[in-house]
Amino acid sequence: MNVLITEPAKESLKEICKHYRSLEFDSYAIKVRKTILGKAKSLSDNQERGQKEEMLKSLDQGHRYLLVESHFKIIYLIDEKRVIVTDIFDTHQHPDKMLKGDR
């Protein structure tokens, strides 16, 4: 099964990396990016391994998440043909921010 990473998810990942680079943690930014992308791509083999995302339950689309590096969530959906990564969410943010935007 293919994995599609949406533009909003790519933008979230860029912002996360930009934040760590601004703190002069360049190597951590690179590591986080590589780890998140690797985990996202691994969803092609086992789509349902992530937990259901309770904060997005009201959207009734079946969002799931994988936790990466203990505080990043890869938010995704599963359809018949692919896994769609809709967001990369830093759990240091308030959970209500997860509902903002087009997820």
The string of DSSP letters for 36-95 reads HHHHHHHTTT-GGGSEE-GGGGGG-S--EEEEETTTEEEEEEE-SSEEEEEEEEETTS-G
- Specify the pTM: 0.89
pLDDT in tens, 80-97: 999 999 999 999 887 777
**How many structural domains are present in the chain?**
1
Instruction: Examine residue 100 and state whether it is found in any structural domain, yes or no.
Output: no
CATH of the domain at 73: 3.30.2310.20
Average pLDDT, the chain: 92
102: confidence class by pLDDT, cuts 50, 70, 90: very low
Residue span of the structural domain in which 83 resides = 2-93
In this predicted structure, the answer to whether residue 56 has a pLDDT above a threshold of 70 is: yes
Task: Output the pLDDT for position 96.
Answer: 75
Instruction: Examine residue 64 and state whether it is found in any structural domain, yes or no.
Output: yes
